[in-house]
């Protein structure tokens, strides 16, 4: 019996218009009524995920910032906060700025950028969070003196792949580096993964991995898809993600989450998926 359902937001629960479809809303309400704990596991900021959590009437800890911050949707209790140590964050910024790529810095659930750019406007349109332009980031970060929750770089997919290939050997196990979208490269604490965070939330409720379903679409979802008793990829996920999932459901635009709820929680036939 599954007792916890964790879902990614973008390209998984949300459709192309960044809305939760009626099928998904209805199915998740039924899952909650059946006693299943429903939550979100997203790379988004807590303040960006919260409106969706309220729409779904979630009363549980939310996994945000790729797992760097676990904070309750109702009480605001912080279960976990694992930021990037400031010296590492400064080093990342210096290396990325040398390439001229856009950087987002996250402090105290606020978003900071050097200046407003096409990339910052793109991010704002997706996250619906207003970025604060603060000028040169390194002096700003040193003055703030805080460890950022994460660092995000926005650039073309090939550029980010090259950057990741260069920096992963450099940072080794000291940082977690992953892509949440083809053009978003994220740097976080080594234990700030959705898989680790999902284990923390499951333990909070006393659930075993076998009692957990995780649904996602991208590379930053792999850890939780593999940790959960039932790891699900939506049909729009890249082939590499679908291949690692236990089950492949419909796409994010076709009620993929609803199909999972119907098939594995409510016991209905749902819509046939394909095993990865």
Q: Average pLDDT of the chain? A: 95
Residue 225 lies in a domain: yes
**168 and 239 share a domain?**
no
Q: What is the CATH number of the domain that holds 213?
A: 3.40.50.1000
Average pLDDT over residues 119-133: 93
pTM of the model: 0.91
Q: For residue 92, what are the domain limits? A: 86-188
pLDDT reading at 84 higher than 80: yes
Among 161, 188, 215, which residue terminates a domain?
A: 188
**Of 140, 163, 188, which closes a domain?**
188
Structurally, how many domains does the chain consist of?
2
Q: Average pLDDT for residues 27-46, to the nearest whole number?
A: 97
**Residue 269 pLDDT greater than 70, yes or no:** no
pLDDT tens digits, one per residue of 149-179: 999 999 999 999 999 999 999 998 899 998 8
The pLDDT confidence band at residue 180, using thresholds 50, 70 and 90, is confident
The 3-class SS string of the chain reads CCCEEEECHHHHHECCCCCECHHHHHHHHHHHHCCCEEEEECCCCHHHHHHHHHHCCCCCEEEEHHHCEEEECCCCCEEEECCCCHHHHHHHHHHHHCCCCEEEEEECCEEEECCCCHHHHHHHHHHCCCCEECCCHHHHHHHHCCCCCEEEEECCHHHHHHHHHHHHHHHHHHCEEEEEECCEEEEECCCCCHHHHHHHHHHHHCCCHHHEEEEECCHHHHHHHHHCCEEEEECCCCHHHHHHCCEEECCHHHCHHHHHHHHHHCCCCCCCCECC
In a domain, 144, yes or no: yes
pLDDT tens digits for 217-227? 999 999 999 99
CATH number at residue 172: 3.30.1240.10
């Amino acid at each position: 019996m599954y007792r916890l359902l964790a879902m990614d937001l973008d390209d998984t629960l949300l459709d192309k218009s960044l809305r939760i479809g009626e099928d998904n809303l209805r199915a998740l309400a039924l899952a909650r009524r059946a006693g299943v704990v429903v939550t979100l596991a997203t790379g988004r900021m807590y303040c960006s995920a919260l409106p969706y959590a309220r729409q779904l009437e979630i009363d549980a800890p939310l996994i945000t910032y790729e797992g760097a911050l676990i904070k309750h949707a109702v009480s605001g209790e912080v279960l976990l906060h694992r930021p990037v140590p400031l010296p590492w964050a400064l080093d990342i910024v210096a290396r990325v700025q040398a390439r001229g790529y856009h950087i987002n810095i996250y402090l105290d659930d606020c978003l900071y950028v050097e200046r407003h750019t096409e990339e910052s406007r793109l991010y704002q349109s997706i996250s619906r969070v207003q970025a604060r332009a603060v000028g040169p980031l390194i002096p700003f970060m040193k003055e703030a003196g805080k460890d950022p929750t994460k660092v995000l770089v926005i650039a073309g997919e090939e550029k980010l792949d090259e950057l990741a290939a260069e920096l992963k050997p450099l940072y080794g196990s000291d940082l977690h580096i992953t892509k949440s979208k083809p053009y978003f490269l994220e740097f976080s604490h080594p234990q700030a993964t959705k898989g680790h965070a999902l284990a923390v939330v499951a333990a909070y409720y006393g659930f075993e991995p076998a009692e957990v379903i995780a649904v996602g679409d991208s590379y930053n979802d792999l850890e939780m898809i593999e940790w959960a008793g039932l790891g699900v990829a939506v049909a729009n996920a890249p082939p590499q993600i679908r291949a690692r999932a236990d089950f492949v459901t419909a796409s994010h635009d076709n009620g993929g989450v609803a199909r999972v709820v119907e098939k594995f929680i409510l016991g209905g036939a749902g819509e046939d998926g394909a095993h990865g």
